[in-house]
């Protein structure tokens, strides 16, 4: 069975974009692949986080992993920092990547272009730790949103380079980008991606939002004056985004939704999207509450960390031997 790995960086509360673009796919893939799903807590601290808030976000993220359907009997679920070997391989990754490569990573480049100051070395080196996450578990596939593809490509480049230099060591991973829902947009500004980081609260639906409030956010989503429900990202980005949300939640193809709404207005359409979102949040939150009240989180993460450590230690030993840093 091929191995798949992915992680989420909960610097805030998880939102619908994370769910549709990432989490829900992890759940689907756990039946087809040997799935490693982790919480990228070390990646969170590349920007200062209030410790108490971070702790809460991490706990919520872990609970949401399970609430959204990740099953500890199928997937290896763990926290990034519980596998110490990842940080150690991260250093080796940094020593096998070039400044020029990191300079080209959009996440960093955008911050520089905006004139941001106080960028940490951790943020700059972020993709090298991510490469370690990917390569240490011999991952074949890495499902990510479009914005993370470049980081997976860097991991590939490092793997190929390392294999050429030191002999066959790493599996060369491939990014997997979902067809629909790879980029859910902000409801108030559909030209920007829905994000926990920098947009207005009204434009982002959090998985732990009160479902009624989430409903309102959909009903007040920005559309356009065209008045036809059709998939035209360029001229009707708001409607296209709602179509993507509805299609990915209900599995109904966009074409078929468009046909059903021929001659109907945006009001009816939004109502149907709002119904789907509300129902999904209720389902997730019911599970989330059950998981927290049963107190199973700690043991799930501990067991996941044990499995992940076994794989990671093997890779690290092999790598250290190949590069000559181990005497015996
Ligand atoms: P944010 O911008 O909200 O901080 P992020 O992309 O920086 O998100 P994560 O929260 O770690 O970082 O994202 C986890 C996964 O969710 C990634 O695979 C990412 O591509 C995906 N993702 C994030 N936002 C969206 C979105 N709006 N639409 C689809 N996928 C998304
Ligand atoms: N950088 C990713 C989170 C992340 C990740 C990974 C995803 C860290 N390590 C390894 C896939 C594979 C993000 O911000 N979404």
Q: For 237-294, what is each residue's pLDDT tens digit?
A: 999 999 999 999 999 999 999 999 999 999 999 999 999 999 999 999 999 999 999 9
Regarding whether 170 and 28 lie in a shared domain, the answer is: yes
Examine residue 186 and state whether it is found in any structural domain, yes or no: no
Residue 267 lies in a domain: yes
Specify whether 265 is located in the same domain as 149.
Answer: no
Q: Tokens 């389902």 label which residue?
A: 283
Average pLDDT value for the chain: 95
Banded model confidence at residue 182, pLDDT cuts 50, 70, 90: confident
- 193 bridge partner residues: 185
Catalytic pick among 74, 109, 149, 196: 196
- Is the pLDDT assigned to residue 181 strictly greater than 80? no
Q: What is the CATH number of the domain that holds 135?
A: 3.40.50.620
Q: CB within 8 A of 212, min separation 6: which ones?
A: 278
Average pLDDT for residues 311-318, to the nearest whole number? Answer: 98
Predicted confidence (pLDDT) per residue in 96-143, tens digit: 999 999 999 999 999 999 999 999 999 999 999 999 999 999 999 999
Collapsing DSSP to helix, strand or coil, 79 comes out as strand
H/E stretch holding 319 reads: helix 297-323
Q: What is the pLDDT of residues 16-74, one digit of tens each?
A: 999 998 899 999 999 999 999 999 999 999 999 999 999 999 999 999 999 999 999 99
On the question of pLDDT at 200 being above 90, the answer is: no
Q: How many domains does the chain have?
A: 2
- Which SS3 state, helix, strand or coil, does residue 161 take? helix
Domain span including residue 231: 211-289
Within this chain, do residues 223 and 159 fall inside the same structural domain, yes or no? no
Question: Do 267 and 137 belong to one domain?
Answer: no
Are 233 and 262 contained in the same domain? yes
Q: Which atom of ligand 2 is nearest to the CA of 43?
A: 8
Query: How many angstroms does the Cα of residue 75 sit away from the middle of ligand 2?
Result: 17
Query: For the domain that residue 267 is a member of, what is the CATH number?
Result: 1.10.240.10
Which ligand approaches the C-alpha of residue 123 most closely?
Answer: 2
Question: Is ligand 2 within 6 A of the CB of residue 9?
Answer: yes
Closest residue CA from atom 4 of ligand 2: 7
16 Cα: distance to centroid of ligand 1 (angstroms): 9
Residue 199 within any structural domain of the chain: no
Instruction: Let me know whether 38 and 151 are in one domain.
Output: yes
In a domain, 116, yes or no: yes
Token look-up 């370690």 returns 132
Same domain, yes or no: 58 and 44:
yes
Please name which ligand lies nearest the alpha carbon of 14: 1
* Distance from residue 17's CA to the centre of ligand 1 (Å): 6
Token pair listed for 270: 């939004």
- Indicate whether 36 and 147 sit together in one domain: yes
Q: Is residue 195 part of a domain?
A: no
Closest CA to 240 of 279, 184, 318: 184
Residue 208 has pLDDT above 70, yes or no: yes
**One domain, residues 49 and 86:** yes
Confidence band, pLDDT 50/70/90 cuts, at residue 178:
confident
Which helix (H) or strand (E) is 73 found in, with range?
A: none
Q: Known catalytic residue: 109?
A: no
Name the active-site residue from 111, 149, 202, 307. 111
Same domain, 60 and 84: yes
Distance, CA of 233 to CA of 238 (rounded, Å): 8
What average pLDDT does this structure show over 133-156? 94
Residues 60 and 146 in one domain: yes
Q: Do 245 and 16 contact (CB within 8 A), yes or no?
A: yes
Q: What are phi and psi of 103, to 5 degrees?
A: -60, -30
Looking at residue 196, its pLDDT comes to 79
> What's the confidence (pLDDT) of residue 97?
98
- CA dist 277 and 272 (Å) reads 9
Residue 199 pLDDT:
62
Task: Supply the pTM of this predicted model.
Answer: 0.93
Is residue 198 assigned to a domain? no
Q: What is the pLDDT of residue 147?
A: 82
Give the CA distances from residue 251 to residues 35, 241, 247, 248, 276, in Å, rounded to whole numbers and listed in that order: 22, 15, 5, 5, 11
């Amino acid at each position: 069975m091929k191995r798949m790995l992915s992680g989420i960086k909960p610097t805030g509360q998880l939102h619908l974009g994370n769910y549709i673009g990432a989490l829900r796919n992890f759940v689907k893939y756990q039946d087809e692949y040997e799935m490693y799903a982790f919480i990228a807590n070390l990646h969170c601290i590349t920007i200062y986080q209030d410790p108490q808030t971070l702790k809460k976000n991490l706990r919520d993220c872990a609970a949401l992993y399970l609430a959204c359907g990740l099953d500890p009997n199928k997937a290896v679920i763990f926290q990034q920092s519980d596998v110490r070997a990842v940080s150690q391989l991260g250093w080796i990754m940094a020593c096998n990547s070039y400044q020029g490569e990191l300079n080209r990573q959009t996440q960093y480049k955008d911050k520089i272009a905006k004139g941001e100051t106080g960028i940490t070395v951790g943020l700059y080196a972020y993709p090298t730790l991510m490469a370690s996450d990917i390569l240490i578990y011999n991952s074949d596939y890495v499902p990510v949103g479009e914005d993370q593809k470049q980081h997976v490509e860097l991991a590939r480049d490092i793997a190929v380079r390392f294999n050429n230099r030191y002999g066959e060591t790493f599996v060369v991973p491939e990014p997997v980008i979902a067809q629909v829902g790879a980029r859910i947009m902000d409801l108030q500004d559909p030209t920007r991606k829905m994000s926990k980081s920098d947009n207005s609260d009204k434009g982002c639906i959090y998985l732990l939002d009160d479902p009624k409030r989430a409903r309102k956010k959909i009903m007040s989503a920005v559309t356009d004056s065209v008045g036809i429900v059709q998939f035209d990202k360029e001229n009707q980005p708001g409607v296209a985004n709602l179509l993507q949300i509805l299609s990915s939640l209900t599995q109904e193809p966009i074409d078929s939704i468009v046909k059903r709404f021929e001659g109907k207005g945006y009001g009816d359409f939004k109502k149907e999207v709002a119904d789907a979102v509300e129902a999904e949040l209720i389902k997730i939150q019911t599970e989330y509450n059950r998981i927290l009240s049963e107190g199973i989180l700690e043991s799930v993460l501990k067991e996941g960390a044990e499995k992940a450590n076994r794989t990671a230690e093997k890779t690290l030993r092999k790598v250290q031997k190949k590069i000559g840093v181990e005497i015996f």
